[in-house]
């Protein structure tokens, strides 16, 4: 988008969200890269003030698009122009973090050889443990082996 429309949305829940407006219909607004604004009071020797933070509105969403029903909105205002560079920096940092996490996951994927089935030392210990459990049985003990499972009860 060449002409981003930066907005501030106040929800009926009290939450405030900075975002880019993508589209507005009669019933909904579509936004992208919503950042939740949180205000925390701080008290010090000089009185009180507010500490402001902003985080992604939905950390676990697959993408950065969000549709909000207008019944959930108190107001929509243009974002203060002085806040736009700050908002863009937050979005860029979050996107870098997401890509970094994806890269990290790809680098740390386990292969079959890395699992317990591929690790001889762990397999040997498991085998000894299974033999110890099976070998200690007395006639009074009842052991049950559930098919498809190596657990002895």
* CATH topology for the 5-107 domain: SH3 type barrels. (2.30.30)
Instruction: Name the residue among 18, 15, 5, 3 with its Cα closest to residue 86.
Output: 18
Residue with tokens 């969000």: 66
Q: How far apart are CA 140 and CA 34, in angstroms?
A: 65
* Spatial contact of 78 and 21, defined as CB atoms under 8 Å apart: no
Locate the domains of the chain by residue range: 5-107
In order along its 153 residues, the chain shows pLDDT tens digits of 457 899 999 999 999 999 999 999 999 999 999 999 998 888 877 888 888 888 889 878 888 899 999 999 999 999 999 999 999 988 888 877 655 555 555 444 444 444 444 456 556 655 665 665 566 555 555 555 555 555 555
Q: Is the dihedral of CA 6, 55, 87, 93 positive or negative?
A: negative
What is residue 126's predicted lDDT score, i.e. its pLDDT?
58
What is residue 107's predicted lDDT score, i.e. its pLDDT?
44
What is residue 115's predicted lDDT score, i.e. its pLDDT?
46
* Spatial contact of 122 and 113, defined as CB atoms under 8 Å apart: no
57 backbone dihedrals φ, ψ, rounded to 5°:
-65, -35
What is residue 22's predicted lDDT score, i.e. its pLDDT?
94
pLDDT digits (tens, 9 = 90+) for 52-65: 888 889 878 888 89
What is residue 111's predicted lDDT score, i.e. its pLDDT?
44
* Spatial contact of 15 and 35, defined as CB atoms under 8 Å apart: no
């Amino acid at each position: 988008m060449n002409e981003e429309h930066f907005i501030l949305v106040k929800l009926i829940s009290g939450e405030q969200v900075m975002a880019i407006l993508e589209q507005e219909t009669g019933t909904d607004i579509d936004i992208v890269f919503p950042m939740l604004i949180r205000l925390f009071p701080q008290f010090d020797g000089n009185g009180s003030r507010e500490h402001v933070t902003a985080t992604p509105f939905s950390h676990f969403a697959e993408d950065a698009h969000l549709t909000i029903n207008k019944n959930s909105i108190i107001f929509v205002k243009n974002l203060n122009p002085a806040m736009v560079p700050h908002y863009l920096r937050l979005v860029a940092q979050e996107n870098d973090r997401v890509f970094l996490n994806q890269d990290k996951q790809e680098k740390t994927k386990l292969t079959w050889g890395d699992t317990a089935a591929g690790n001889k030392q762990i397999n040997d210990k498991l085998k000894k443990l299974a033999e110890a459990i099976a070998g200690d049985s007395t006639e009074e003990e009842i052991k049950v082996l559930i098919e498809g499972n190596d657990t002895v009860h």
